[in-house]
Amino acid sequence: MASKSFKASRSSISSDAGDSAHHRPPLPPTVTFGRRTSSGRYVSYSRDDLDSELGSGEFMNYTVHIPPTPDNQPMDGPMDPSISQKVEEQYVSNSLFTGGFNSVTRAHLMDKVIESEASHPQMAGAKGSSCAILGCDAKVMSDERGADILPCECDFKICRDCYLDAVKTGGGICPGCKEQYNALDLDEMAVENGRPLPLPPPAGLSKMERRLSLMKSTKSVLMRSQTGDFDHNRWLFETRGTYGYGNAIWPKDGGFGNGNGKDDEVSEPQELVSKPWRPLTRKLKIPAAVLSPYRLLIFIRMVALGLFLAWRVTNKNEDAIWLWGMSVVCEIWFAFSWLLDQLPKLCPVSRSTDLSVLKEKFETPSPSNPTGKSDLPGIDVFVSTADPEKEPPLVTANTILSILAADYPVEKLACYVSDDGGALLTFEAMAEAASFANIWVPFCRKHDIEPRNPESYFNLKRDPYKNKVKPDFVKDRRRVKREYDEFKVRTNGLPDSIRRRSDAYHAREEIKAMKLQRQNRDEEPVETVKVPKATWMADGTHWPGTWMTPGPEHSKGDHAGIIQVMLKPPSDEPLQGTTDDTRLIDLTDVDIRLPLLVYVSREKRPGYDHNKKAGAMNALVRASAIMSNGPFILNLDCDHYIYNSQAMREGMCFMMDRGGDRLCYVQFPQRFEGIDPSDRYANHNTVFFDVNMRALDGLQGPVYVGTGCLFRRIALYGFDPPRSKEHHSGCCSCCFTRRKGRVSVATTPEEHRALRMGDSDDEEMNLSLLPKRFGNSNFLIDSIPVAEFQGRPLADHPAVKNGRPPGALTIPRDLLDASTVAEAISVISCWYEDKTEWGNRVGWIYGSVTEDVVTGYRMHNRGWKSVYCVTKRDAFRGTAPINLTDRLHQVLRWATGSVEIFFSRNNALLASPRMKLLQRVAYLNVGIYPFTSIFLIVYCFLPALSLFSGQFIVQTLNVTFLTYLLIITVTLCMLAVLEIKWSGIELEEWWRNEQFWLIGGTSAHLAAVLQGLLKVVAGIEISFTLTSKSGGDDVDDEFADLYIVKWTSLMIPPITIMMTNLIGIAVGFSRTIYSALPQWSRLLGGVFFSFWVLAHLYPFAKGLMGRRGRTPTIVFVWSGLIAITISLLWVAINPPSGSTEIGGSFQFP
């Protein structure tokens, strides 16, 4: 197979004087290509080629027609990228990139991604004109609207590769008219609308510095306030007397220098100082009328518990010293556990955002942003999935559609889907979602649809036409609903479609192999040919990921890395729909662009620890840094979709506000759908999300809970927060710190000042150490200071520290090229993390089932803060298991992770001084709470033991004991009422949480402690398997899963507790009735505590009974008879004192 090779530079149109003289057209950036085969087209890379390319000094070449000067610089909009770059980006989006360890990185050109036609021009495999060259059926180059790009005036249709052939080997002759291509035609296309290409940056700068200089460029306040003319002096000072890019620096006192050579004493321009400054967020304190009594009650209950425990220790029950001892130990632990849970709740807060101020600051025309283009930073959204059988692709597709339709600048949004199973089913479902987004996203923008998950929207119980005023809404909704129904049918039919397609191709391959065998063996007997049963893609090629019938290098733990740009990056300017578009609905004046959508499946090989979800998330962090490098990352589970389309804007209010550069993440509460109305198993978890998390927000911030979290990228990279030395310096080192800071400002590059890790005392970050931490990707390392700069708040007020100039993020992004995606393939390979700090200090932390809590803990431990963002309309919604067994296993996983945290170096007892005391107490409670199950189970058996033995935990129910018990109970109830008051939850939700605390504590938490101890001491891991005993056969019942009973060993302790207490109550009554001297006080004490246990276990008992009405009455009759029989048997075996016969002195009348 013939191949051609030439170097690619990440460049715009490249042409010099010699080229222009000979009218040679520019060459698009390329890499080593292979010619077309019957199964597609491949592009090969090697690590040497990549390293030499990335290490070269040639980064960008420019064609400058008229040197732009300050007063002759058309600023109608940003410059258009060159046609060659657009074509390269289109080629990248139509190629499936694969590669990995010790393998060649290949780009397989996809003629089609799915069986149906792709109509949106951004989508991979989008339909278009075919190349007119004989024997070539590739697609013609196209622009953002899908219109053909024809490089010759004769309008001869030619694809990208044939165009390169004509330029390289054909002397630049057009195959159609036989005339030479005119380079000026393409140059004019590159600068259409009067937008010239920028001046080159100063020579000698590194690639990182050039990218930073591009971002820092801003059109500042350069007009004289009186005349409106251009102020040359101010412009020259801003750029320090050079043409190009620079930073807006203003001298103090309005002077331009004092002759002492110090140019670091700067201040803000007067226009910014005098402008009214409005905050993006507000802290809403809890009313003192609620908070003061709440804190007072906590103090009163602490004192009461202390006095009660002191009384209990000093007043022993000599009749049952064993019962007294167990109860006292349990009560001391319960008091300690309550203290750990209650102390972090002393300072609850609520917060609110102002989206109008965000729009005014970042998306409103201003002197620094004349066009009003969005100055918001980019966000990369991560969606993780692993198994399409357990996580239905339709659910994941709906989540992705809600992301693509979110109300955030399209060019600043990118969505990455991590398929850790490497399944073709997920791949094609994502492609179908990208195709349906062509109509769904513009429909949402046109009619302000909420929520923007089509499944949830079309299943809304409320009136869908409320507040809709556009006359074509009903027609549009009907058509989109029909399209969505067809999309669902196609997605649900994908497994059968892939299976039939693979069987057909497999049969064809077997026939070919048999024919070839017959040709090679003339008359010899033909043996059965065994051809590996592959999984085939829609374009008739092998799927490089996991096959339905696993084979070598094609199984879940052994497949190549895959990256497919499903939707290529959108154009920088809005692309309005037109009336003549062949679309189902009228999209006139509606932006039809779609955000970047990328499918990623990291490489997996035997012998490597892939670290489950945490490893997949870290692979996405690296790949996204190479491809889009959004300074903020939003991670969502595949079943958690965006319910509030402005949720990302709400989170950005906190990140972009004053002091926002010290926030590592913004955590949103988890809200769930499909929960039974009574919330039997506390699935909504409102006490945690609305009480505990709000309380932590008043300290150092809420814990990270695994989904619905907006991260600052550099915080994930393991860097310390800005000004960490200022916040933790001693009182005697103020002068030294100030002097050191002054020197560092003059000597340290601005982009490095905020990049410092805790193990380095120097203000300057040593970039030479970064490869040891982050790996050997130069692209990745260069992206770090860029992400840090872009994530800074707006420097629109002197009080904003570590800010960026307004308008710095309005420049166009870099276009994707093949070398960029090839580098992304290399960073998701299985070997990339070897000998780096990924998973140890950088990214999601490895080594725990609950990697989310550990990751958040590490950030807080470095001094970062987090914020809890509760929006009026729920930000995200997801699903939760309503089945009892599934719920118990979910709690088991969380508790197991907590036990692992307690026995690791992430224990809060080992936290750094940068973590606040009460925050440390909260994290300590996270690691300790499962151990409460040991004492809880013992305490739940104490009432039954008391009833069996006829004794109680105290000698007698005297006034002192009852008074203490009353005070402790009343204060607990009053605290619950006040928590309900300031958090907004309901009393029933609080009670459900208390019930499931006991259910989980006597089942899953105990199993987690045993599992954790066995793992730490003996290295043995235990897995609890499920055995389904019955199933819900009512398909029409939305909550049918609630009544399914699946047996699990986790149910044994609660069942034992219930049966023991029921029998104990029966035995206690029998003993008291038959006794010559009935001890009613002891009976009442035991029965009261038994009922307390049984009341908490009531939801568990309902779960065991299945659907209401399906439990036969005879079951209850048998249960009563068994309890009575056992109680009578106990009385017979151990008769009451003073009686020598069964029944004692009791006689029937």
Taking the C-alpha atoms of residue 542 and residue 535, their distance in angstroms, rounded to an integer, is 6
Phi, psi for 616 (deg, rounded to 5): -65, -40
Buried b (16+ CB within 10 A) or exposed e, 1120-1131: eeebeebbbebb
Residue 702 neighbours by CB under 8 Å, 6+ apart:
667, 693, 696, 866, 867, 868
Catalytic annotation, pick one of 476, 558, 814, 852:
852
User: What b/e string do you get for 285-295 counting C-beta neighbours within 10 Å, with b at 16 or more?
Assistant: ebeeeebebbe
Q: How many CB atoms lie within 10 A of CB 5?
A: 11
Length of the chain (residues): 1149
943 sits in the region (left: phi over 0; alpha: psi -120 to 50; else beta) called alpha
Do residues 438 and 126 lie in contact, with contact meaning Cβ atoms separated by under 8 Å? no
Q: Is 185 a catalytic residue?
A: no
DSSP string, 462-511: S-TTTT---TTHHHHHHHHHHHHHHHHHHHHTHHHHHHHHHHHHHHHHHH
Calculate helix-pair angle for 424-447, 393-404, nearest 10 degrees.
40
**Angstrom distance (rounded) from CA 40 to CA 142:** 20
Check 420, 591, 814, 874 and give the catalytic one: 420
DSSP letter at 1054 equals H
User: Omega before 198 cis (within 30°)?
Assistant: no
Structure tokens at 93: 């989006």
β-partners of residue 130 are 139
**Residue 569 in tokens:** 């990056």
Helix (H) / strand (E) element for 819: namely helix 818-827
**954 φ, ψ to 5°?**
-120, 160
Q: How far is CA 952 from CA 168, 185, 434, 1067, in A?
A: 96, 97, 67, 14
Give the containing element (helix H, strand E) for 397.
helix 393-404
Tell me the three-class secondary structure of 973-1003, residue by residue: HHHHHHHHHHHCCCHHHHHHHHHHHHHHHCC
- Residue 879, beta-bridge partner list: 673
- Give the Cβ contact number of residue 1037 at 10 Å: 12
Tell me the three state secondary structure of residue 725.
Answer: helix
d(CA 1081, CA 1061): 18
Residues near 81 by beta carbon (within 8 Å), at least 6 away in sequence: 12, 190, 812, 815
Q: Which three-class secondary structure state does DSSP give residue 1027?
A: strand
Tell the burial category of 336 from Cβ atoms under 10 Å away from its Cβ (0-12, 13-18, 19+).
middle
Helices 83-93, 183-190: axis angle to 10 degrees equals 80
* Buried b / exposed e along 519-543 (16+ C-beta atoms within 10 A): eeeeeeeeeeeeeebbbbbbbebbb
Residue matched to tokens 């999984």: 535
852 is catalytic: yes
Q: What is the separation of C-alpha 653 from the centre of its chain, rounded to a whole number of angstroms?
A: 18
Q: Say what the alpha-carbon torsion angle 149, 151, 155, 156 is, to the nearest 10 degrees.
A: -100
CA gap 560, 825 in Å, rounded: 9
Residues belonging to the active site: 420, 852
